[in-house]
Amino acid sequence: MTLATRGPVRIVGTGLLGTSVGLALRTHGVDVVLHDPSRTALALARDVGAGRPAGPDDTAPALVVVAAPPDVTADVVRAELAAYPDAVVTDVASVKGYVLAELRAAGADLTRYVGSHPMAGRERSGPSAAVPDLFLGRPWVIADSGSSHPDAVLAVRSLAVDLGAVPVTMDADAHDAAVAAVSHVPQVAASLVAARLRGADDAALGLAGQGLRDVTRLAASDPALWTSILAANAAAVRDVLRDLRTDLDTVIDALGQAAAADGPETVELGALATLAQAIADGNAGVARIPGKHGGAQRTYGVVTVLVPDAPGELARLLTEVGEAGVNLEDLHLEHAAGRPVGMAEISVLPGRVEHLEAELTARGWRLVS
């Protein structure tokens, strides 16, 4: 594949994001120069193949990608705009309004700056967590400065497309309100739910299943990075959390009424309906999350299969799903605590469930209903 992005591309900040951008560009042979104030982060990014450390004799870059923490992003962008007067400069910080306001206040050349934000990441930080396919199929917000030159916007859009992402145009404030709801509040909620587990005893934790893991996956994120993200998007995150607090209070009041009753019949009128409504509202919200191919979410059927904990068994199962002519849409593995089997939850199109169950049963697999 020939890329529209021309080198040299200079990446400033060689952590998870910067190193992933470098790896993806290097895969296509683009010349990438790297810079990071942490000498270790820089050397590690070089070692994993994300590019070469910037040197004094380098050709000036055509494009600079700033992938530093949000609180230093505006300063770094400003310095890069000044150091490379012909380069387009973008950043990938998770917050856009704050960076743009600081650049504007500092009188930076906004014609060559285009803010951006790939909606792709991991719970781990640093160059060792970087992967070249991090951006595949993910939205990449392009937030022009209001004065960005169309060629600069095109260069940043091309970067997103070249890395396999889907560019989405949004202004900085709309972006910040959107990520407050879909990324920053989910992070806070996951952290708060997980934090409740600190005092739980081992017996309780031993009962945990996939539901708890799903809800708390983000709680493994880096505290320093997230403090910087939350502080930079504080007003928008606070607004969504206030609404969440109102909803929590409603549920707490209803539970208080249920706890005070002798049984369901004597619960104060409306309290049970309030609880049901909270869960139903969640159903309505989750149904609005786009599916894995970016369109409206599909509800898949799930076939759960017991897989003996022996070499090659999972591979055999997946081969036989293919032989049955069924397309695997998603796969979840769970280990049954203390038992020599695992459970494979195979997601398939709803119309294929019966056929797959029959095929797997005929081939001797044990299904969990």
Q: How far is the CB of 94 from ligand ENO (least distance, A)?
A: 3
Q: Binding segment for ligand ENO among 73-81, 117-125, 165-173, 202-210 (CB under 6 A)?
A: 117-125
Q: Binding string to ligand NAI for residues 179 to 218, with x set by CB under 6 A, is what?
A: ----------------------------------------
CB atoms within 10 A of CB 114: 23
d(CA 54, CA 58): 7
301-308 vs 366-368, strand pairing mode = antiparallel
**Cα distances (Å, whole numbers) of residue 314 to 300, 332, 333, 349, 363:** 21, 12, 10, 20, 14
Q: Which residues contact 194 (CB under 8 A, 6 or more apart)?
A: 216, 219
Omega of the bond leading into 8 within 30 degrees of 0 (cis): yes
Length of the chain: 369
Residue with Cβ nearer ligand ENO (105 or 289): 289
Say if CB 316 and CB 278 are below 8 A apart. no
166 lies in the site for ligand NAI, by CB under 6 A:
no
Instruction: Choose, by CB under 6 A, the member of 13, 22, 70, 121 that binds ligand ENO.
Output: 121
Instruction: Choose, by CB under 6 A, the member of 94, 116, 216, 233 that binds ligand ENO.
Output: 94
Give CA angle at 86 (84, 91), nearest 5°: 65
Instruction: Choose, by CB under 6 A, the member of 183, 250, 274, 277 that binds ligand ENO.
Output: 183
Task: Report residue 242 as tokens.
Answer: 């206030």
For 146, left (φ over 0), alpha (ψ -120 to 50), or beta? left
Give CA angle at 368 (364, 369), nearest 5°: 120
Of 6-25, which residues contact ligand NAI (CB under 6 A)?
Answer: 12-18
Q: Binding string to ligand NAI for residues 223 to 252, with x set by CB under 6 A, is what?
A: --x---x-----------------------
36 lies in the site for ligand NAI, by CB under 6 A:
yes
Say if CB 33 and CB 51 are below 8 A apart. yes
Q: How many residues sit in the footprint of ligand ENO (CB under 6 A)?
A: 5
178 lies in the site for ligand ENO, by CB under 6 A:
no
Q: Binding segment for ligand NAI among 71-79, 249-257, 258-266, 349-357 (CB under 6 A)?
A: 71-79
119 lies in the site for ligand ENO, by CB under 6 A:
yes
26 interacts with, out of ligand NAI, ligand ENO, none, CB within 5 to 8 A per kind: none
Of 221-240, which residues contact ligand ENO (CB under 6 A)?
Answer: none
Task: Report residue 64 as tokens.
Answer: 């600079």
12 interacts with, out of ligand NAI, ligand ENO, none, CB within 5 to 8 A per kind: ligand NAI
d(CA 100, CA 89): 12
183 interacts with, out of ligand NAI, ligand ENO, none, CB within 5 to 8 A per kind: ligand ENO
Residues that bind ligand ENO (CB under 6 A): 94, 119-121, 183
